[in-house]
Amino acid sequence: MILDTAGPAGSVVIADGATYVNTTSVSLTLSATTPAAACGRCSSAAIGSSWSAWESYATPKAWTLTSGDGQKTVYARYRDNAGSVSAPYS
């Protein structure tokens, strides 16, 4: 038996890849290489804040950016049903 210790690979895209947005409400396109049936949870966080609670994997996901002008980065990580967690994706 092979033990699954590698977290899912994935990505996160903000606002369909737009260069910039003029609103704090955006849509995140989450993608994990592990099928959704095996990728049971995802977590997202904006730069400078702690991770949100694990939630069921779903895409797209509504997200609120911090207010103010300037570059924003959103991170996402994925946990599969075996409990393995991915590296953060931005």
**Average pLDDT score over the chain:** 80
pLDDT on residue 44: 64
Q: pLDDT below 50 — which residues of the chain?
A: 37
Written as one string, the DSSP assignment of the chain is: -----SPPPEEEEEGGG-S--SSSEEEEEEEESS-TTT--EEEEEETTSPPPPPEE--SSEEEEPPSSSS---EEEEEE-TT--BPPPB-
pLDDT digits (tens, 9 = 90+) for 18-31: 988 999 999 989 88
Enumerate the domain spans of the chain: 10-79
